[in-house]
Amino acid sequence: MLHCGIVGLPLSGKSTVFNVITRAGAEVKPYAGGKTDPNKAVVEVPDKRFDFLADFHKPKKVTPAQVEFVDLAGLSRGAGKGEGLGNSFLSFVADADALIQVIRCFTNKSVEHPEGSIDPLRDWDIIENEMIFRDLAVIENRLGRLKAKKKLSPDEETEKKLLDLCFEYLLEEKPLRSMELKPEEWRLLRGFSFVTSKPEVILLNLDDSQ
């Protein structure tokens, strides 16, 4: 089953998007009081080809493809460095197969933006940078352990060179998903669950007048 994480700043409308996709009826309000448990719901993927084959063959049991959507706590500045709910938030993101980043474009005087104004590009930049900080920290931790060894195996040498390359790429504020790597290099990185390597969809949350 594919796991898709819904991410964004607080009050960006993530839970509303989650409810629209899943019809789960999750409570729509800011994560408060240190709450870190995300909303979760499983949705069957509509597929006319699957429906046709099921109707044609009439098996005793059918199992359509499913996607689990996870509505994560709002990300804030410093999350990539473990501040606030950062560690908990980014651990959930690391477990996801793909991400939907919700960017607030609507205005609502009763729900003030946590940054004080509506600026979609700034909000996107905050989210991307926090995820980059998280991946940089993971690489630094691993490289530190490798450097502490007296001698590296050939596989570890290969790993170190690749991580050094990824580290420099992230320092340029570019997500790993845009990096051109060979299939075997991606396989080597898979175990790190880099959040910036995951496929991402940007969803602009507009109001009715837009």
pLDDT in tens, 48-97: 999 999 998 989 898 899 999 998 877 777 665 655 455 566 777 888 99
> What domains are defined for the chain?
2-205 (1.10.150.300)
Per-residue pLDDT tens for 109-162?
Answer: 888 898 999 999 999 999 999 899 999 999 999 999 999 998 999 999 999 999
Residue partners of 83: CB distance under 8 A and separation at least 6? 76, 77
Question: What is the structure's pLDDT at 25?
Answer: 67
How would DSSP label each residue in 29-49?
S---TT--PPEEEEEEPP-HH
SS3 content of the chain, % helix, strand, coil (to 5): 45, 15, 40
Q: What is the mean pLDDT of residues 10-28?
A: 83
* Alpha-carbon distances of 139 from 63, 76, 132, 134, 154, rounded to whole Å: 39, 22, 11, 9, 19
Question: What is the structure's pLDDT at 145?
Answer: 95
Whether the Cβ atoms of residue 129 and residue 76 lie closer than 8 Å to each other? no
pLDDT score of 190 more than 80: yes
Q: What is the mean pLDDT of residues 190-201?
A: 94
Question: What is the structure's pLDDT at 33?
Answer: 39
pLDDT score of 31 more than 80: no
Question: What is the structure's pLDDT at 66?
Answer: 92
**Distance between CA 186 and CA 2 in Å, rounded?**
19
Question: What is the structure's pLDDT at 152?
Answer: 93
Question: What is the structure's pLDDT at 32?
Answer: 42
Average pLDDT, the chain: 87
Question: What is the structure's pLDDT at 81?
Answer: 62
**Between 196 and 30, residue with greater pLDDT:** 196
